[in-house]
Amino acid sequence: MESKIKLYNTLSHKVETFSPFNPAEVKIYTCGPTVYSQPHIGNFAAYIYWDLLVRTLRANGYGVKRVLNLTDVGHLTSDGDDGEDKLEKGARESHKTVWEVAEYYINAFQKDFRALNLVEPDVTARATDYIKEDMEIVDLLTQKGYTYETSDGIYFDVSKFPKYADFARLDLEGQEWGASGRIELNGEKRNSADFAVWKFIQPGENHAMRWDYFGRPGYPGWHLECSSIIHSILGETIDIHTGGIDHIPVHHTNEIAQAEAAFEKKLAKYWLHCNHLTSNGQKISKSLKNGYTLANLEELKFSPLDFKMWVLQGHYQSERDFTLENLSAAQTRRLKWRNMIARCYQGQETDADFSEILVAVSDNLNSPQAFADIDAVSVANLDFWRQVDELFGLGLLDDAPRLSTEQNEIIERRRLAREQKDYILSDRLRDQLLEQGITILDTSDGQIWQYTA
Ligand code: AMP
Ligand code: ZN
């Protein structure tokens, strides 16, 4: 089938026509959250964009097999190989075990994931369930001569993998590299960009998650889990690998190096990266604690789907600054769409062409254009809105219930009251509906109802 989908591929730095290995099963891997604290709206922006990717593929007739990982070990407080394991730190600060911390935040993540109406991944894989597979990769890399041992772990020697700098167009020699703070110069490393595939736990070090390997306790390097999960579940060379732009210079660069060195196959055909959400111009991050959670937004009377609407109003490759004013505008827009559905219920359906919407999102997930096209339809029809819901997962129809028999009766009684010029009764009936979230408008064509903000 001739693909209608175009995607920006970080690998080629170009928008390419999407062509999967097997259209019936497009293999996608998404780097998941590190489960040591409450996920914020920045994290979910990423999963909302990848939800759009999955839905766009499906709407174009592809089958999808998607894997998401949950990082419950090995992600250190620095992106290099120094610092504390984020899970261990979370456990220490909350006086819980690491396993309890992981369990708690996995549940929190999944609850919000569902509230955002995100398509469930086919497999959700926990890093700690793939330790044996991690070791197999380290063994392979060691046999092939890519690794060396230092006092704090087994390192990947990037000089043995000549393509190492290509993916992120890194300047390994340049100033920029040293100044980025990414790689701490560890005296035992052969090259500053070398990264740990396995870390040793030092005597006296408090690290509850531990596995014996190389004759001593240790744990996997952060990047390794993605390579072993991909290889175990999806096999060699997947179609699409997704993540945030923060993953390009370190995490994905390292994933490619270790997986392609071990298996001698390209890791992924397409690499998609979303940009960041910022707050006051600064990247929202768990460590800065500068991001709202979905629960915070709900306290302010915004539904998770209002937030999803705001995210999809922007393009996944653009940096977006989050403000409550902008969220409020998205909420209003979503209400406007729900009220177009209300018009459909009131017999005002019009023709509308959905194919234009699908064309827009298929062009490198251009949801802002698709949304502008949706705004331009006058009322459309229920079939059109069903397709909009399928493609964006905005829960429009679920949040646009038909009126109950009682509510319809109130409207009819109000019509009669107005006919009889009983305005006291008519106002009382209108207020009664308003309490139930329904606004009545009097137009030259009679009463119409809509959902209230
Ligand atoms: P983490 O839990 O920090 O490993 O992040 C999980 C996912 O959220 C990754 O794909 C990150 O790229 C993404 N992410 C983290 N912060 C932001 C942000 N401010 N905006 C968009 N995506 C983010
Ligand atoms: Zn990853």
Contact 9, 248 (CB under 8 A): no
Q: CB within 8 A of 291, min separation 6: which ones?
A: 40, 41, 42, 277, 279, 284, 285, 322
CA neighbours closer than 13 Å in the CB half-sphere of residue 137:
32
Ligand 2 (ion): residues with CB under 5 Å are 31, 226
320 lines ligand 1 (CB under 6 A): no
How many other β-carbons are positioned within 10 Å of the β-carbon of residue 132? 10
Contact 81, 196 (CB under 8 A): yes
The structure's pTM equals: 0.94
Predicted confidence at residue 180, as pLDDT, reads: 40
Predicted confidence at residue 30, as pLDDT, reads: 98
Q: For residue 8, give the 3-state DSSP assignment.
A: strand
Q: Which atom of ligand 1 is nearest to the CA of 247?
A: 12
Q: For residue 245, give the 3-state DSSP assignment.
A: helix
Identify the residue whose C-alpha is closest to ligand 1 atom 9. Answer: 244
Structure tokens at 316: 């996944």
Identify the residue whose C-alpha is closest to ligand 1 atom 5. Answer: 33
* Phi and psi at residue 327, to the nearest 5°: -65, -40
Give DSSP secondary structure letters for 67-101.
EEEEB-S--BSSSSS-S-BHHHHHHHHHTS-HHHH
Which ligand places an atom closest to the C-alpha of 106? Answer: 1
What's the maximum distance between 2 C-alpha atoms anywhere in the chain?
A: 92
Predicted confidence at residue 280, as pLDDT, reads: 87
Q: For residue 164, give the 3-state DSSP assignment.
A: coil
Which ligand places an atom closest to the C-alpha of 47? Answer: 1
Q: Closest Cα partner for 318 from 12, 8, 17?
A: 8
46 lines ligand 1 (CB under 6 A): yes
Q: Closest Cα partner for 271 from 311, 240, 238?
A: 240
The dihedral of CA 162, 224, 197, 33: what is its sign?
positive
Structure tokens at 443: 């137009």
283 lines ligand 1 (CB under 6 A): yes
Which ligand places an atom closest to the C-alpha of 125? Answer: 2
31 lines ligand 1 (CB under 6 A): yes
Q: Can you tell me the distance from the alpha carbon of 112 to that of 174, in angstroms, rounded to the nearest whole number?
A: 42
Ligand 2 centre from 218 Cα, in Å?
20
Ligand 2 centre from 387 Cα, in Å?
32
10-residue mean pLDDT profile of the chain (453 residues): values are 88 97 98 93 97 98 98 79 81 87 95 98 97 98 98 96 94 53 68 94 89 95 96 97 96 97 98 95 85 96 98 98 97 98 97 97 98 96 98 98 98 97 97 97 95 92
Predicted confidence at residue 1, as pLDDT, reads: 55
Q: Closest Cα partner for 52 from 358, 338, 340, 271?
A: 358
If you compute the radius of gyration of the chain from its CA atoms, what whole number of angstroms results? 26
433 lines ligand 1 (CB under 6 A): no
Contact 50, 30 (CB under 8 A): yes
Q: For residue 349, give the 3-state DSSP assignment.
A: coil
Predicted confidence at residue 184, as pLDDT, reads: 53
277 lines ligand 1 (CB under 6 A): yes
Q: Closest Cα partner for 41 from 271, 241, 283?
A: 283
Ligand 2 centre from 222 Cα, in Å?
8
Q: Which residue has the tokens 């679920």?
A: 398
Identify the residue whose C-alpha is closest to ligand 1 atom 12. Answer: 244
Give how far Cα 138 sits from Cα of 114, 186, 221, Å.
35, 21, 10
Give DSSP secondary structure letters for 269-281.
EEEEEE--EEETT
